[in-house]
Structure 1
Amino acid sequence: MNELQFRDVPEADVDRALELWWLVFHDRPDEKEKREYHRAMVLRCDRVGAYDGDALVGFLVAHRFTLSIPGGELPCPGLTFVSVAPTHRRRGVLSGMIAELFRRCADHARPIVALWASEAAIYGRFGFGAATFGTSVEIDSTRPLALRVDPDRRPLRLIDADDAPAELGPYYEATRTRRAGRIARDSARWRGEWLPETDEDDEELGPPRIVGLGAIDEPLAGYAIYRTRREDDPAKSGTVQVAELEADTAAGEAALWNYLAGIDLTGTVRAWGLAPDDPLLLFAADRDQVKTVAEFPALWLRLVDVRAALTARSWAAEALLVLEVRDDRVPANAGRFRLAASPHTCTYEATAAAPDLSLDVRDLAACYLGGTEARRLVRAGLVAEHTPGAAAALDAALRTAELPHTADEF
């Protein structure tokens, strides 16, 4: 057996890397356009391969994302296309590739990494924690949508999908920092991920439709991206599948939901992965009509450089705490550190003082964006609180006005 090597995957090897990915995930797109899209996307990403001699036996890519964090944003590689050849399982292929990715992050000042976990049991051991959560809802739209707020009365207008990146992009970027966990989108991401003609997960859905709130000569005040599915059986109603809905105000959101629930020849509105604190869940007057059908971990985060990550975000309150952090993968993160945070500044320095909290780096990552409370982790036995009130103090300092959220799956 050759010793495994972990290195860049050159463009010449991208086709066989994609074949490995399709093999592992039991897929191979028939459409030339989809294969070419995957290839172009991979070429825009950082690539790590595991080689056994000349054989490519492992592969991963990292999108060059920028992620909103409380008070700002950070470069954040988005890990995906993770593949290990079935002939080389349990030989350290995945561990080696992730170690190489973490090394590159350290070299290029990228303190955080994110992913969506196809198998959640795998990534905790690499220090990833679930940092955002999604809530899926189903609306019975066979009757008028009952709301506790009056919808915004400004006009609604349809936006052509070809024009959507130019129209929606500036609005999305201006509002992106309201919530932590959101990825900056360029035109290629808008067109390839949000506005393709066919939905990759459900080919029976129609093309993307976009409705905007506000007259054409007014600033955009909100939008929704959706698709519809018709039923051949006239006794059955069609479905509206909502991909994303954004608005400046609750009244604006109400206007968009009211529009979606009123589309002719449909009887169900489904929305995947809303924020757990989405206003719809409060201003819906009848929760039997607007039902939560799923709740799930969404974006998983890894703090590759804990000090850089903590000192880059803003803090809602003062906290002076000694954290004892465990990190088996990145030794520089492990140890005791004094966190001195306030709304104006933050320092994080090594100390020999007794800890107030002891926690694994994955649990600190789960708390980082404000989506998980340390007190809940203490109650679950995952974080040790040595000083009474320490977890509450950390939660108060990490708190954000809105829960972190993203629907940008990758």
Structure 2
Amino acid sequence: MDSIQFRDIPETGIDRALSLSYLAFHESPEEEKRKHHHDLLLDCTRIGAYDNDELVGFVAAFPFTVSVPGGELACPCLTFVSVAPTHRRRGVLSGMIAELFAKAGADGAPIASLWASEDAIYGRFGFGPATHGHTVEIDSRRPLALRITPDDRPLRLVDPSDAPGLLGEYYDRTRTERAGRIARGDAWWREEWLVEEDEEDDELSPPRVVVIGDPAGPVAGYAIYRTKTRDDAPGLVRLDELEADTPAAAAALWRYLASIDLTGLIRAWGRPVDDPLHLFAADRDQVRVTGEFPALWVRLIDVRKALESRSWASPVDVVLDVRDDHVPANSGRHRLTASPDGCTYGPTEDPADLTLDVRDLAACYLGGTKIDALLRAGLATEHAPGTAKTLDAALHTALVPHTVDEF
């Protein structure tokens, strides 16, 4: 470890960093994909671990903004986390994470996030799973049975090249209604959501975009999907994203997807766990949740700033004893006093009402995990009865946090 140094990777070192990442993830992308990765990294924070002059570790962070209850925060989002196989278990990853936390703190970003390639790794660095996703499958060989009447406003297909302007306006208008959603620029729409060929399955069609709403008025919802034929089964509709203003608008979009000719299965990955489809679908044998997974992992780099930057649903006045092995300033007893009017959080000598690890506080931060669930799992200790119930009420959000943007 004494020979390893951590420093920024210059633009001229991006290709070298990508080669390390491809080695670590056993990938050999074609030139077009390499160029795409190179272009993405131009706007990222890039931290390298060097053993003398040899690059042995690499982590990048997108300078994203993420919605939190009541607003949004700058949030570096980690990606391309790689360590050379010759330097595993030598503190390389720990050193890079520490460097990134220091940079984020200096830049005023109170939280960071990632999608975990291996769940077991990132909890020890204080990341907690703050959003979850469902995989949903619909048997569309017969009409989709619904308990509500779908919106009868017109549906229309939109050229994907025109979609970023149309969908971006809608997405920006609705994004802050649900925590965990990442702000998308035009390039992110075009290069991540609407790219011609899907990198995971080249048999899928190009993206299709359908919107609902009067052509002269605002968009009331949209779906992005791809299709493919299959020799041994009915054709597939892979739904990438569906957003709608109302349950009726969502029902109209789902009915459309289930009515596409020559298909018999809809597979939707990354749906919110409180998707109203689960309730307005008339036949749950036809609409099935086939999996649930942790999605966005959040790290509270500056607990005080993070807590004071979100909104609170009801009054709470508790002393939290937080453990944080990586950011000592977060550790210890702090009094949280919050209400719909605002929040303060500061050190105190008063006895703790609740003890928990920073990773578990992060999991609860967006409102997706309950403090009470931590108690029942043995991951938090309640010293003053009723603390968990009061804190859960204050952390409550109308919609469960949700993230579908992978990075």
Structure 1 length normalisation: TM-score?
A: 0.98
1:241 corresponds in structure 2 to 238
2:81 corresponds in structure 1 to 82
1:42 corresponds in structure 2 to 41
Give % identity: 65
Matched, 1:391 2:388: yes
Matched, 1:213 2:191: no
Deviation readout 1:265-310 (Å, 9 max, x if unpaired): 0000010010000110111010000000000111000000000000
1:344 corresponds in structure 2 to 341
SS of structure 2 residue aligned to 1:90: coil
Matched, 1:22 2:22: yes
Structure 1 CA distance for aligned equivalents of residues 140 and 289 of structure 2 = 15
Matched, 1:263 2:246: no
Structure 2 CA distance for aligned equivalents of residues 320 and 408 of structure 1 = 35
Which stretches in structure 1 are left out of the alignment for 5+ residues? none
Matched, 1:254 2:251: yes
1:192 corresponds in structure 2 to 191
Which amino acid in the other structure matches residue 28 of structure 2?
A: R
SS of structure 2 residue aligned to 1:387: coil
SS of structure 2 residue aligned to 1:394: helix
Deviation readout 1:331-362 (Å, 9 max, x if unpaired): 00000000000000100010011100000000
Which amino acid in the other structure matches residue 371 of structure 1?
A: G
Structure 2 CA distance for aligned equivalents of residues 293 and 349 of structure 1 = 43
Written as runs of structure 1 = structure 2, the 5 A alignment for 1:14-163 is 14-30=14-30, 32-163=31-162
SS of structure 2 residue aligned to 1:137: strand
Match of 2:404 among 392, 404, 407: 407
2:275 corresponds in structure 1 to 278
Shift of residue 2, structure 1, vs aligned partner: 6.1
SS of structure 2 residue aligned to 1:110: coil
2:5 corresponds in structure 1 to 5
Match of 1:305 among 299, 302, 307: 302
Deviation readout 1:203-257 (Å, 9 max, x if unpaired): 1111000000013212110000000011246xx3100000000000000000000
Shift of residue 33, structure 1, vs aligned partner: 1.6
Structure 2 CA distance for aligned equivalents of residues 319 and 160 of structure 1 = 49
Alignment root-mean-square deviation, CA: 0.8
Contact 1:124 1:362 in 2 (8 A): yes
Which stretches in structure 2 are left out of the alignment for 5+ residues? none
Which amino acid in the other structure matches residue 77 of structure 1?
A: P
Matched, 1:325 2:322: yes
Which amino acid in the other structure matches residue 85 of structure 1?
A: A
2:171 corresponds in structure 1 to 172
Deviation readout 1:186-206 (Å, 9 max, x if unpaired): 011001110111111111111
How many residue pairs match? The answer is 407
1:370 corresponds in structure 2 to 367
Structure 1 CA distance for aligned equivalents of residues 372 and 314 of structure 2 = 16
Structure 1 CA distance for aligned equivalents of residues 2 and 52 of structure 2 = 6
Structure 2 CA distance for aligned equivalents of residues 149 and 79 of structure 1 = 41
Which amino acid in the other structure matches residue 196 of structure 1?
A: V
Which amino acid in the other structure matches residue 16 of structure 1?
A: R
Structure 1 CA distance for aligned equivalents of residues 158 and 32 of structure 2 = 25
Contact 1:2 1:53 in 2 (8 A): no
Structure 1 CA distance for aligned equivalents of residues 201 and 392 of structure 2 = 40
2:226 corresponds in structure 1 to 227
Match of 1:354 among 351, 354, 362: 351
2:378 corresponds in structure 1 to 381
SS of structure 1 residue aligned to 2:230: coil
Structure 2 CA distance for aligned equivalents of residues 345 and 390 of structure 1 = 19
Structure 2 CA distance for aligned equivalents of residues 33 and 149 of structure 1 = 45
SS of structure 2 residue aligned to 1:203: coil
Contact 1:157 1:215 in 2 (8 A): no
Off by >6 Å, runs of 4+ in structure 1: none
Structure 2 CA distance for aligned equivalents of residues 144 and 96 of structure 1 = 55
Which amino acid in the other structure matches residue 27 of structure 1?
A: E
Matched, 1:288 2:281: no
Deviation readout 1:70-126 (Å, 9 max, x if unpaired): 000000000010000000001100000000000001111000000000000000000
Which amino acid in the other structure matches residue 18 of structure 1?
A: L
